[in-house]
A and B are shown apart, each in its own frame.
Chain A
């Protein structure tokens, strides 16, 4: 992705005036979600503001938390330390509970095939930080309930701040710790530009 493409993406979003993730009129986050659904073939996407937020969201989606064990895929050492901080013990044997993909700019042309290798994993943590726009990640699911739990973790249990600000007793996934793991629309716009201009369209 060259500087002109970045400049166009940033200028476009700034001109729209919508730079907040909780803005009802935001189009950038839904557009990146759509692209990632298309590229991955997964039905559900959660966008977050870092790879560690992605790991946390994936585990929340899979109902794994403090005191649980997980078979994790090969991860950088820092990510292992993060799982330890969450209180999740990592086991080496068995089938990983989730997949982890960390593309570089050189990989965007083959993101589709890269994600094909994750088929069957209940969740995929897609670390988008390597694309160069700051910490960013997506978590891919096929399970709507898993997606809902992950989405709630990232916005204080509210599921969708754009339309709903209340928490009800019947809502699953609102009883624990909650974070702000929201991704900025400006970052999402640049990530999408990087993926679309370099060919990861299918």
Chain B
């Protein structure tokens, strides 16, 4: 096995959220700052989450054309 691996800080999941590794502050559209609290955080990209700005899995209920690319 090679000596180094890809380990990005930001991962855009096809059809799903953006994963953020580490501690960050995310500002929502209303200008409110939200601190991340876990090692990896999923940020909503479909804008339908009930826990904005965080992902709650709602993208899975959307038709494929409405999911984030």
Pair from one complex: no
